Amino acid sequence: MIHRALAVAAVCAVGCGDNLHPIAADATGDSAPRMPDLAVVAAQMDGTALVVDQTFEPDDCALVEGCIGAPGPRRLVIFDTVTENVGDADLVLGQVPPPGVSSGIFVWSECHMHHHVMGYADYELLDADSNVVTTGHKQGFCVEDDEQVQPLGPSHGYNCNYQGLSIGWADVYDRALPCQWIDVTDVPTGSYTLRVTIDQSGVIPDANPTNNVWMSPVTL
């Protein structure tokens, strides 16, 4: 892969090497760092929310990692999460640590036996007064170039071993994947709003956080 030589140990914003984050000259001749810009792809997320029932064993990873409240029958709101990079530089999360080692944004999962990208996406269910009723999170398998959504440039080959997002490419997290849900088993019936926020804690380089939120009505 063309970016392996960078040997990035954590999230990179600028100065990561070669042409991932080139310096752009503005009209005054000053230089400014280019930045990735994460954005939800609403067109691919709208209409994907679905209420389903699923049963879990006591040793299921979903319970071990806090994605459900208890074993047994659970009611879930499942949905797709699609994030694109519309900035003028790649998002570089970097080389994943060795198995069993947690470092920076990468946290090793003993249950899934791979690393998770912590804090990438948070899920919330809101009531009619915009109060948070219950929450979930993307228990990330990886952040990678899954599909090109805008013709802004080629993929630089980001995958689960060396993670990131090329300009114009999106990470697609399908609703069928483990933990891609909010557990609503104990939530009363009624009308709610599902809210997905990318990088809510601000740990990932992002030029414009205002395009990181997606909302959708949900009826239980």
pLDDT per position as a tens digit, 54-75: 999 999 989 988 899 999 999 9
Dig out the tokens for 94 from the structure.
């970097």
Note the Cα 171 to chain centre separation in Å: 7
Q: Is the pLDDT of residue 24 over 50?
A: no
Residue 113 pLDDT > 80: no
DSSP character at residue 5: G
How many structural domains is the chain composed of? 1
Query: 163: pLDDT confidence band, cut at 50, 70 and 90?
Result: very high
**What is the C-alpha to C-alpha distance for residues 167 and 150, in angstroms, rounded to an integer?**
8
Q: Name beta bridge partners: 163.
A: 94
Q: Cβ(60)–Cβ(178) under 8 Å?
A: no
Residue 30: count other Cβ atoms within 10 Å of its Cβ: 9
Helix (H) or strand (E) holding 163: strand 162-165
The residues, any chain, with a CB within 8 Å of residue 180's CB and separated by 6 or more, are: 78, 79, 80, 81, 138, 139, 173, 174
Structural domain including 148 reads 4-219
Q: How many Cβ atoms sit within 10 Å of the Cβ of residue 75?
A: 16
Q: What is the pLDDT of residues 188-199, one digit of tens each?
A: 999 999 999 999
Higher pLDDT, 179 or 216: 216
What CA–CA distances, in Å, run from 172 to 1, 175, 206? 21, 10, 18
Task: Take residue 87 and report the two structure tokens written for it.
Answer: 């900035």
Percent of the chain exceeding pLDDT 90 equals 64
| Nearest partner of 60 among 46, 79, 47, 74, judged by Cα | 74
Between CA 141 and CA 135 the distance in angstroms is 19
Among all chains, which residue has been given the structure tokens 């630089």? 156
DSSP state of 12: B
Does the pTM surpass 0.75? The reply is: yes
Which pLDDT value is given to residue 162?
95
Q: Which of 37-51, 94-108, 110-124, 150-164 has the lowest mean pLDDT?
A: 110-124
What is the C-alpha separation between 177 and 119, in angstroms, rounded? 17
217 beta partners: 193
